[in-house]
Amino acid sequence: MLHLADSLHIEDETELQGGWRDLADVLNAGADRVILYGPPGTGKTYAALHYGTLGVPSERLICTEDLTTADVTGCWIPVGEGRWSWLEGPAIRSWRLGSRLVVDEVDRASGDVLSLLLAVTDTDGSAQWRHPSTADVVTPHDDFSVIMTTNIERLSELPVALRDRFPIAIRIDRAHPASVMRLSSDLRGPALNGSLGDEDRRISLRTFYAFDQLRRSLGAQRAASLLFAEQQATAFLDSLVISNLRP
Ligand SMILES: Nc1ncnc2c1ncn2[C@@H]1O[C@H](COP(=O)(O)OP(=O)(O)OP(=O)(O)O)[C@@H](O)[C@H]1O
Ligand SMILES: [Mg+2]
């Protein structure tokens, strides 16, 4: 069994709640295809890159309309004197080395890349790729795993066949406990709750990090005024005071 607490930089996995608890459980149980979805700035990509990877560096694909199939599996590049060399792409490298492949913002991938992802993320036994120069057949290493991330809330917007390759989808709606340890102590509780409550006014980890940094030299009022609209700045500062009054 993987002991995620070490890679999560937390004392005890039982501290985890909600989607983070589910992620720890499924990775501990050996799941190798997971979708993490939900609001921005909760630590989905960070978790996908680092958790349960046993220290083997992960490969990351950031899907945009401009990402091409060559960026996924590889392409020929000129190496001078009319010669060409095959540059292996992150997906095949990850297959070969048995590392984690992180497919970020998967909903933004173009049709071609989505089709290729069906092959790259296919279940063991079905997945294979032929090297264009050696014709060697490459299949995924036993330790290969994929985590896809997205901000879409309705996973039915993903192609059915891609979704089917990922039976486990976990909604992450709060910051990871380890991520808030980078913040000054008075910000940790609010950051963990995504303070200011409702979904529309959730404050992402990135905003908390920026607030913490700016306030060191500019003071809390000025930092809040630079990061939020007027009313939200006041509400944010008030909620910070209130949350730190609580025992
Ligand atoms: N466990 C963690 N430890 C330290 N820093 C973290 C942790 N989790 C997240 N962070 C930091 O928080 C910020 C946001 O994390 P991340 O990019 O993973 O969010 P996300 O949920 O993928 O956001 P988006 O949906 O916008 O892509 C990053 O700066 C990241 O380095
Ligand atoms: Mg992300």
pLDDT of residue 14: 63
pLDDT of residue 102: 98
pLDDT of residue 3: 47
Nearest to 51 by CA among 16, 91, 2, 87: 2
Instruction: Tell how far the Cα of 45 is from the centroid of ligand 1, in angstroms.
Output: 6
Contact criterion met (CB below 8 Å) for 5 and 118 = no
Instruction: Round the average pLDDT of the chain to a whole number and report it.
Output: 89
Using a 6 Å cutoff on CB, does residue 53 contact ligand 1?
no
Residue type, 3: H
Backbone angles phi, psi at 198, to 5 degrees: -60, 160
Residue with the larger pLDDT of the pair 203 and 101: 101
pLDDT of residue 110: 94
Using a 6 Å cutoff on CB, does residue 19 contact ligand 1?
no
Q: Give the lowest-confidence range in 31-35, 158-162, 166-170, 189-193.
A: 189-193
pLDDT of residue 15: 74
Q: What is the mean pLDDT of residues 22-26?
A: 95
Angstrom CA distances, 169 to 19, 31, 59, 143, 172, stand at: 10, 11, 20, 20, 10
Distance CA 238, CA 240 (A): 5
Using a 6 Å cutoff on CB, does residue 99 contact ligand 1?
no
pLDDT of residue 199: 53
Q: In this structure, what token pair is assigned to residue 23?
A: 């992620």
Question: pLDDT for 26-75, tens place per residue?
Answer: 999 999 999 999 999 999 999 999 999 988 999 999 999 999 999 999 99
Task: Give the predicted TM-score (pTM) of the model.
Answer: 0.91
Q: In what order do the strands lie in the sheet with 33-37?
A: 59-62, 100-104, 145-150, 33-37, 168-171
Instruction: Tell how far the Cα of 131 is from the centroid of ligand 2, in angstroms.
Output: 31
Q: What is the mean pLDDT of residues 1-22?
A: 64
